[in-house]
Structure 1
Amino acid sequence: MSTQQSLIALARGGYAARGVLYLIIGIFALLAALDSTKPKDSEKSLEALLSQPFGYVLVALVVIGLFAYAVWRVFQAVRDVDHHGKRFKGLVIRAGLLAGGLFNGGLAFFALGLLISGIRRSGDSQGGQTRDLLAHVLSWEESNLLVYLIAIVPLGVGIAHIIKGWKASFEKYFEADEEVMQYVRPVSRLGLMARGVVFIEIGLLLILSGSNYQALHPPGMKDALDALQNLPAGGLVLMLMALGLIAFSVYSFAEAAWRKINVM
């Protein structure tokens, strides 16, 4: 297999792994709409997946896919294979791709730790390292300013997702005929906008916490979905958002199948 073919396989496998991960999160969020004790975020969902039949095999496949996706995102950002350019907008998009690669790489390492060390021991070790790092960083005199700066990332990603879903601008990267796109388009738009809402919520939670930010519990997807569940008719809202995240998984699978993969 040539280098070009390997990169294409890496990219498609990565998109498929992202689809699997969001399918798992969406399903658990859907169950959480009926039972608030169910997990809602990526790490807890992976832990819960391990307890299922063939859980270790499934998580191992997700680990491989997430590493592939992380490498592909970094490659996209560094080599600019989608030609975003060096203007401000292009650099922002590429920075988002790089951040996505680093995040998914970290998540892959977390899942790998679950496989190697077992759920309880790995979860305690990983969580301890994260808490220690956050406690150190947030002990700085201007740490609340850092929190506000960090909040810009999920806010920007969320707004970009909503715009991308609303305008259906993702279509220019697809190699599929209209017969396929008439089904892919509406589901993808819903999925992108749902994920955008979750990211905006994470950013807002960071901003609202400000100087009261808790080093031991940084807000994430679980907190965003919990906030939705606490709204009036929160169970219904969470159920709709869960369906949106499942729609985003369908969008990811569609990218795995039909996205143009530029490697030059």
Structure 2
Amino acid sequence: MNLHSHVMMPAIKVIARCGYVAKGVVYLIVGSLATLAATGLGGNNVGTKEAINHLAGQPFGSVMLALLGIGLLGYAVWRAVQALLDTEHLGHGLRGLATRLGFLISGGIYAGLALYCANLLRNAVTGSTSTTDRTAELMSHPGGMLLVLAIGIGFAGVGLRQVWRAIKRSYLKNWHMIEMSEAQQRLAEAATRWGLCARGAVFLIIGGFLVVAAIQTNPSQAQGLGGALNVLARQPFGPWLLGLVALGLMAYAIYCFVNARFRDVSR
């Protein structure tokens, strides 16, 4: 490791850990509101931007919003570092490049959420654009339907990968297991497997609706995170399904917090 890497790594570690905390906070809010909706105690099925809006409306909302925005920007930077510097040693093969591209896309999404936080702080947001509106905008351009189809397939692929990671327990190689007690390991594993499966199911639903929207040339078919949770709620045994996935998203938040504390961010 050269001198430049020695100087950069402490900063990258702090950025990555703050980023995981911020991401966990967003999913904790989404999961909590969906859990309240499933149990009939209030709350709504919301997406990430709506979750940020909810946080902004709380006491000391501006302070929390600023911290969240900084954390989300940190997560975006960490994803960019993973992609561009190949910290996971994925290589230049097709699979490695696809995974690294996924890191970049993920970073772009969370950079957008960080910008959304900044705009809220400046009172510059007059209303959030819906998934349907964004899909319609994409479809209006040449090749837009193919792009929406590709994005839908990408979401479905990420969903399948999340479930596969839960089955294979591939996340274990990223944790400093020696620093965790046996009880912490059991809790982290249980939360992670549940959380990855729940997030995977939601991403599969989002991807499926985007694919349908592209095939039918109908952007109104597209659904975001909140829409996917609403779809679950409308199924037979909907409240139970919604509750299971909502608690799973809260478990995914715990997974993010575990990463913030125990993940090896030097690779």
Q: TM-score, normalised by structure 2?
A: 0.89
CA apart distance, 1:135: 4.2
1:68 aligns with 2:74: yes
CA apart distance, 1:2: 3.7
Residues 205 and 134 from structure 1, CA distance in 2 versus in 1: closer, same or farther, beyond 3 angstroms?
closer
Quote the Cα distance in structure 1 between the aligned partners of 2:239 and 2:137: 37
1:205 aligns with 2:206: no
CA apart distance, 1:58: 1.5
Q: What percent of counterpart residues are identical?
A: 35
CA apart distance, 1:182: 2.1
Q: Kindly provide the CA deviation profile for residues 19-68 of structure 1, in whole angstroms up to 9, marking residues without a partner as x.
A: 11111111111112126762421111111221211222222111010000
What amino acid is aligned across from residue 94 of structure 2 in structure 1? F
1:230 aligns with 2:227: no
CA apart distance, 1:137: 3.2
Name the structure 2 match of 1:159: 160
Quote the Cα distance in structure 1 between the aligned partners of 2:170 and 2:212: 31
CA apart distance, 1:233: 1.3
RMSD, aligned α-carbons: 2.2
1:106 aligns with 2:112: yes
Question: 1:122 is matched with which residue: 122, 125, 132?
Answer: 125
* Alignment check: 8 A CA contact 1:188 1:248 kept: yes
1:24 aligns with 2:29: yes
Which SS does the other structure have where 1:32 is aligned?
A: helix
Question: 1:89 is matched with which residue: 66, 83, 95?
Answer: 95
Name the structure 1 match of 2:3: none
Q: TM-score, normalised by structure 1?
A: 0.90
Quote the Cα distance in structure 1 between the aligned partners of 2:150 and 2:42: 31
Question: 1:5 is matched with which residue: 10, 20, 35?
Answer: 10
Quote the Cα distance in structure 1 between the aligned partners of 2:32 and 2:113: 19
**Alignment gaps of 5+ in structure 1:** none
Residues 232 and 135 from structure 1, CA distance in 2 versus in 1: closer, same or farther, beyond 3 angstroms?
closer
1:219 aligns with 2:220: no
Quote the Cα distance in structure 1 between the aligned partners of 2:177 and 2:232: 35
**Alignment gaps of 5+ in structure 2:** 1-5
